Amino acid sequence: MSYMARIVVGVLALCLSATPGLAQKAKNKSSKAKRTPAAKAIKVNVAQERSALFADDAKAAAAAAAKLGRTNQAGALDALLDALSMGLDPSVSTAALDGLAWHAKPASFDVLEYYLDYRNARVRAAAVAAVGSLDDSRAVTAVLAALTDNDDTVRAAAAKVIGDRGIKTGIEPLLELLKKGDEASGDALAALATPDLAKEVGELIGVAPNAQLSRCLGAILMRPGFKPEEARVEVVRALGKVPGNEALEQLTTYVASVPENPPRQSRREAEAIVEARLTGGD
């Protein structure tokens, strides 16, 4: 059987053996990664939308919050802050907090700070994302604190901010979360990864759960800016030591993503590990 045929057979086997729960999580994660906020400002009737914020119809109020959260017209930000200060339905609060993230004004911090402790986890997660958008020294402290939230949605929001903003003080708490199997920590660590950090992650074999560790190492390997080649080779070797199908899948994905020419040592070694595993050679 040719190498590529073995790859196909191996990947099919992995797909058939994967649990539906993990497959759905991966699908959800992918769709979230592609979602980007609207960048262009829109024009609205600020007075009308402000009034609609307090409508009995939560759907209409959320739509008004979304509009106010996408315009830089005078009064829009104040309308959102006033409404949040008075209290809103959770679905409306989430839309309003998303709007504060779009505005990204430090003047929002005091209101956002209250919502970081809100009882609804989706609202807290939206508040974390909004705080993370602020150019304010207090924002980093708040986001780091959110990594200890008891809800994984909130921790994921905090981890994303840390990865997106390159907050290096988040590395150690993210490593601790990875050891506990927290899914959100992997992508954030991959975004922050230097060769030294990648090596530290690779040393968690036997400490962090195999699947989560493999996905983190795979995300590091697939990051276009992760260099030099020697560092990629070390990540490939670390993945080769991680037991389980997830490590094999990450290596297979890497091989498929890298062209044969110019030759790359990390690809050759990844290919050899995949070949050995699929043929029972290790």
- Position 202 scores a pLDDT of 97
Per residue in 72-84, pLDDT tens? 999 999 999 999 9
- Position 55 scores a pLDDT of 84
- Distance of alpha carbon 216 from alpha carbon 187, whole angstroms: 6
3-class DSSP assignment, residue 205: strand
3-class DSSP assignment, residue 44: coil
Inter-CA distances, 20 with 16, 23, 76, Å: 10, 5, 44
Inter-CA distances, 280 with 10, 35, 175, 189, 239, Å: 11, 40, 32, 32, 17
Reported pTM: 0.83
- Position 39 scores a pLDDT of 53
- Distance of alpha carbon 153 from alpha carbon 146, whole angstroms: 10
Residue whose structure tokens are 């030294």: 196
Q: What is the DSSP string of 217-277?
A: HHHHHH-TT---HHHHHHHHHHHHHS-SHHHHHHHHHHHHHS-SSS--HHHHHHHHHHHHH
- Position 85 scores a pLDDT of 96
Which of 25, 14, 32, 9 lies closest to 246 in space, CA to CA?
Answer: 14
- Position 132 scores a pLDDT of 97
Two tokens, residue 92: 């409306």
The pair phi, psi for residue 208, each rounded to 5°, is: -85, 150
- Position 280 scores a pLDDT of 81
| Cβ 222 vs Cβ 252: under 8 Å | no
Per residue in 105-158, pLDDT tens? 999 999 999 999 999 999 999 999 999 999 998 999 999 999 999 999 999 999
- Distance of alpha carbon 9 from alpha carbon 132, whole angstroms: 44
- Position 282 scores a pLDDT of 56
Q: What is the DSSP string of 115-156?
A: HTT-SSHHHHHHHHHHHHTS--HHHHHHHHHHTT-SSHHHHH
Class in CATH terms, 44-168: mainly alpha
Average pLDDT taken over every residue of the chain: 88
Pick out the chain residues at pLDDT < 50: 1-6, 8-9, 11-38
- Position 271 scores a pLDDT of 96
Two tokens, residue 217: 């190492």
- Distance of alpha carbon 91 from alpha carbon 276, whole angstroms: 51
